[in-house]
Amino acid sequence: MAIASFPTLVIDCPDALALARFYGAMLDWPIVDESDDWVEIKADYGQMICFQQVEQYTAPDWPGQEHPQQMHLDVSVADLDEAQAAVEELGATVHEHQPGETFRVMLDPAGHPFCLCVE
């Protein structure tokens, strides 16, 4: 039996509301809680991601390690090209380093790497 359930990922960023809107739109999860420096999005089945606003935020530098990524999200998609176009419309950018063919490394609006992965 698990000790806990529904682990929550907390992502540091320069603008919590903006990044929550980005991931909320990409995952179709609504914002369920919002304060000055904290925003939560939540799926209807309970999974949640939180965004914490941090002063003097420094974006990760992947694949370098001067400012390591420390975490990243992998999300499943049916079509890489369609998913890439959709997240770019939301504010993501393609990372210059693409080490594989079954996934695409993207950067969210705060510079965090995340991967679009073929289902």
The series of mean pLDDT values per 10 residues for the chain, 119 residues long, is 76 96 98 95 94 93 86 89 95 95 94 91
Three-state DSSP class for residue 25: helix
Domain with CATH 3.10.180.10 in the chain: 70-119
Residue 25's pLDDT is 98
Statement: the pTM of the whole predicted model exceeds 0.85? no
Residue 3's pLDDT is 65
Residue 4's pLDDT is 61
Residue 45's pLDDT is 93
Q: What is the pLDDT of residues 35-57, one digit of tens each?
A: 999 999 999 999 999 999 999 99
Residue 32's pLDDT is 97
CATH of domain 70-119: 3.10.180.10
As a whole number of angstroms, the distance between CA 115 and CA 109 comes to 14
Domain with CATH 3.30.720.120 in the chain: 1-55
CATH of domain 1-55: 3.30.720.120
DSSP letters, 70-98, are ---EEEEES-HHHHHHHHHHHT-EE-S--
Is there a contact between 114 and 104 (Cβ–Cβ < 8 Å)? Answer: no
Is there a contact between 51 and 34 (Cβ–Cβ < 8 Å)? Answer: no
Residue 51's pLDDT is 96
